[in-house]
Amino acid sequence: MQKNIVILISGAGSNMEAIVRAARRGRWAERFGAKVCAVISNRPDAAGLAGARGEGIATEVVDHKAYEGRDAFDAALIAAIDRHTPALVVLAGFMRILTPAFVAHYEGRLVNIHPSLLPAFPGLKTHERAIEAGCRFAGATVHRVTADLDHGPILEQAVVPVLAGDTGGTLAARVLTQEHIIYPRAVERLLAGA
């Protein structure tokens, strides 16, 4: 049975691109019958949409601003995602809080990456908060999504040092290079059933 992967983005989509590249290099189609079949953004101006199209992947926008409230938006998003009958829904810089109904609908099929060493620093501005707290190390976490924001069973983590003089920006860039390694790895392990 084909394992369809749907990736949700809101911005640059560099994690999405890392996964698409890994799928190609790692021959996920041949090895797991897996394919990134759609990239969906809640923002029409997400730069990652062009990248996905360049990879020959179907893209779609479900603009949250067009909906009255989270329930209506999540229902529209579910409809768009389910057209692809996904085995896996991958949140890659998708900057919307999802309703419990959405999370329940994709139970066991929904993963996220968060740019901190969870359970430390859920939510926004993680890098600035890690620097401010005097952390010597920061990192990123791939986890299964539960109704609790930025929680859920951890699948992969990577650690980077916090260096003297780091700003939120420099730390974010260091963490992002690790995200591009651990997210494809986590997805590949899920596909392999490991």
Is 166 a binding residue for ligand GRF by CB under 6 A? The answer is no
d(CA 18, CA 113) in angstroms, rounded, equals: 13
Cα torsion 85, 89, 95, 101: sign = positive
Residues 27-66 that bind ligand GRF (CB under 6 A): 48
Q: What DSSP designation does 87 have? A: E
What single-letter amino acid sits at 74? D
- Closest by CA position to 166, among listed 121, 128, 120: 128
Which residues in 150-165 are b (16+ Cβ under 10 Å) and which e? Answer: bbbeebbbbebebeee
Q: In whole angstroms, how close is the CB of 149 to ligand GRF at the nearest point?
A: 12
Catalytic residue from among 64, 84, 105, 114 = 114
Among 5, 9, 162, 187, interactor with ligand GRF by CB under 6 A: 9
Closer to ligand GRF at the Cβ: 114 or 144? 114
Least distance from ligand GRF to the Cβ atom of residue 30, Å:
26
CB nearer to ligand GRF: give 12 or 76: 12
Please, what is the minimum distance in Å from the beta carbon of residue 155 to ligand GRF? 14
- Between the alpha carbon of residue 183 and those of residues 7, 47, 73, 167, the distances in Å are 12, 19, 26, 24
Among 51, 115, 139, 184, binds ligand GRF (CB under 6 A): 115
Residue 13 touches ligand GRF, criterion: CB under 6 A: yes
Selected from 150, 156, 179, 188, the binder of ligand GRF by CB under 6 A is 179
CA distance 72 to 194: 35
- The answer to whether residue 114 is catalytic is yes
Residues that bind ligand GRF (CB under 6 A): 9, 11-15, 48, 92-93, 113-115, 176, 179
Q: What residues are labeled active site?
A: 114
